[in-house]
Amino acid sequence: MVQRMKVLRVSSIYSQMSGNDNIRVRVFRVWYRVVGRNRKTVSDERMVKFPGSCRCSVTRIILYLLMAIPSSFVLAQYHPSPADWRDQNIYFIFTDRFNDGDPSNNNANPQSSYNGTNSRRIHGGDFRGIEQKLDYIQALGATAIWITPIPQNVGSSGYHGYGADNFYQLQPNWGSMSDLTSMVAAAHSRGMYVVLDVVCNHQGNRIDSANSSWGTVFNASGYPVRWSNSANQYPAPFNQLTNFHNNGAIQYYIDPNQVLGELSGLDDLRTETMHVRTNMVNIYAYWIQAADFDGFRLDTAKHVEPGFWQHFNPAIRAYAASLGKTNFFQFGEVFDGSDSKCGFYTGTKAGGAFANDSVLDYPLYYKLQSALATASGNTKQLEDRFNAIAGNYDPAAEYHLVTFLDNHDQPRFMSPNWANNNTNRLAVALAFLYSARGIPCLLRNRAELQWRRRSR
């Protein structure tokens, strides 16, 4: 059994002058002890006499106190959040397809194998590969990276990461935990931030029904469901069939179909239950503390009911703040061109607690395709669209929408049906992306991922 200790914070510091010019400081320390997956928070309070003069800065006092912490503690200072995410410029990395920094892990996934010529198999990209390219990424002007999901996936979905098997286990073809924490720390040392892509809507595909309509027809009353292979079931915490919806496939991309149905066969979690909600917070809090992430990109947000986000987002925000990350950024993927639909998932627009800080700017994406990629529509629609932001989004999100020209779910900007390698159009589009309102996000992996999860 492994026990680890990390100091979470040193706070409530104040000083007082004593008669001989020494400074006395009261320090309140909070840390946690990890035994397996169980974490226990421990704290103490002590008065420390600092042997300096009143001219010593508070910073020097804090450094002294941190140095004085007993060696039995593994010191972990979490990286603080940026003051304002509008200052950030995100570079999106599809980890498997970015850079192979360690060929020795290419066949380390127990459920999927390396095949560099098959677009739906592992191609070898990993955390070391990202770390090796941080100088390059930073030289492009990026100040943050967003990486695809990291848990162990089911079978061949292991190259993209969006079909988890074990949410608590790192998939080994992307590297070890030390590779991950080294990469994140290296980004932080450059003043860059790391956003993790997380999935709350579904796991992989281990569940189906004997009913032949299961894969095509949405059934509000539900089907009898089963493990596709009784020998391959999910580990805890979602190891029961009752943890998943049993309504069959998404037949129409409207509620409740798209909330309760399976997306491309992916097993749809009962996100309305407290069991799923509580465990999702625990899972992703675990990854924040384990790897020091600075924000989340939340996959398939519209396939989860708003009440889930009103639970999850504030809980994650509060946990991150307890580590000193007081501006942990969470932006959702709402794959829809409607501002009212996308805006519904921001802030308090759906009612209740403050949910997502932002969303991917899909409405702008569609206008950019028309005006700049195919050049088939006029630019007035861009002006009209910006005028449509106010009122549709939570005011706190209006200037934090994450803008993009393409992504891993879309054809590349330069592909034949879009800009068709017209570099003049790309130049205009990039100039727009980096000068328009919003937080720009660029995908610059290999030319075409040849992977789409969705039918629309």
Q: Three-state SS for 129?
A: helix
Check residue 197 for interaction with Ca ion (CB under 5 A).
no
Check residue 263 for interaction with Ca ion (CB under 5 A).
no
**Least distance (Å) between residue 265 CB and Ca ion:** 4
For Ca ion, the binding residue among 165, 179, 197, 268 (CB under 5 A) is: 268
Nearer to Ca ion, 261 or 438 (CB): 261
**Least distance (Å) between residue 173 CB and Ca ion:** 6
Task: Provide CB contacts within 8 A for 93, sequence distance 6+.
Answer: 130, 145, 146, 147, 148, 445
**Least distance (Å) between residue 47 CB and Ca ion:** 51
CB count within 10 Å of CB 400 equals 23
Check residue 205 for interaction with Ca ion (CB under 5 A).
yes
**Least distance (Å) between residue 360 CB and Ca ion:** 18
CB count within 10 Å of CB 246 equals 19
Site for Ca ion in 43-102 (CB under 5 A): 100, 102
For Ca ion, the binding residue among 207, 320, 360, 433 (CB under 5 A) is: 207
Q: Three-state SS for 390?
A: strand
Residues 294, 40, 13, CA angle at the centre, nearest 5°? 65
Check residue 282 for interaction with Ca ion (CB under 5 A).
no
Catalytic positions: 299, 333
> Ramachandran region of residue 194, left (φ > 0), alpha (ψ -120 to 50) or beta?
beta
Check residue 201 for interaction with Ca ion (CB under 5 A).
yes
Instruction: Tell me which stretch binds Ca ion (CB under 5 A): 246-254, 262-270, 279-287, 357-365.
Output: 262-270
> Pairing state of beta strands 90-93 and 144-147?
parallel
Nearer to Ca ion, 5 or 241 (CB): 241
- Distance CA(348)–CA(396), nearest Å, equals 10
Check residue 106 for interaction with Ca ion (CB under 5 A).
yes
Task: Tell me the torsion sign for CA atoms 360, 195, 303, 156.
Answer: positive
- Distance CA(85)–CA(328), nearest Å, equals 9
Nearer to Ca ion, 267 or 357 (CB): 267
**Least distance (Å) between residue 206 CB and Ca ion:** 7
Residue corresponding to tokens 């509000």: 220
Check residue 265 for interaction with Ca ion (CB under 5 A).
yes
DSSP code at position 39: E
For Ca ion, the binding residue among 267, 339, 398, 406 (CB under 5 A) is: 267
- Distance CA(173)–CA(102), nearest Å, equals 9
Total residues at interface with Ca ion (CB under 5 A): 13
**Least distance (Å) between residue 322 CB and Ca ion:** 29
For Ca ion, the binding residue among 105, 247, 289, 330 (CB under 5 A) is: 105
Check residue 303 for interaction with Ca ion (CB under 5 A).
yes
- Distance CA(442)–CA(371), nearest Å, equals 18
Token pair in block for residue 139? 């030289």
For Ca ion, the binding residue among 124, 248, 363, 438 (CB under 5 A) is: 124
- Site for Ca ion, rule CB under 5 A: 100, 102, 105-106, 124, 126, 201, 205, 207, 265, 267-268, 303
